Structure 1
Amino acid sequence: MQNKVDVAVMIGSGVPQTLRALGQRACWVVLLNGEQRGTAFASRDEAQECQAAWQALLRREASDSLH
């Protein structure tokens, strides 16, 4: 199965209270096969860094399973 890693934006009431208390009206999350993984991020850049880490991990796991 091919895993899909996406970044999604959450707006309004979807934003965790901790971020809303800091004035955030939007946040970004990483989705693995449509399910949220980890925390919500205050910036898209942070979420994209996490996305890249997930993709690297999945590539490594796929490579290891071939050997």
Structure 2
Amino acid sequence: MSKQVDVAVMIGTGVPESLRALGRKICWVVLVNGEQRGTAFSSRVEAEECRSAWLAQLSANQYRRPEQAQRA
């Protein structure tokens, strides 16, 4: 099963209160098949690193035998 992993930008009221309290008006999130996974990031670089980790994890899971994937 193919998974789509993207980085999306959030602006204004979409930014979590914790980041807005620090003066941030923009943040980035990682989406897996359109659903946010994890936290909001204050830099795109951090979000891209997280995206890379998701892709590596999904790739590793793709090549496991079914009984191994169920235990993971």
Q: Which runs of 5 or more structure 2 residues have no equivalent in the other structure?
A: 67-72
Q: TM-score, normalised by structure 1?
A: 0.95
Q: Which runs of 5 or more structure 1 residues have no equivalent in the other structure?
A: none
What's the offset of the Cα at 1:6? 0.2
Residue 33 in structure 1 maps to residue 33 in structure 2: yes
Q: TM-score, normalised by structure 2?
A: 0.88
C-alpha RMSD of matched pairs (Å): 1.4
User: Where does structure 1 differ by over 2 angstroms across 4 or more consecutive aligned residues?
Assistant: none
- How many residue pairs match? The answer is 67
Question: 2:10 maps to which residue?
Answer: 10
What's the offset of the Cα at 1:3? 0.2
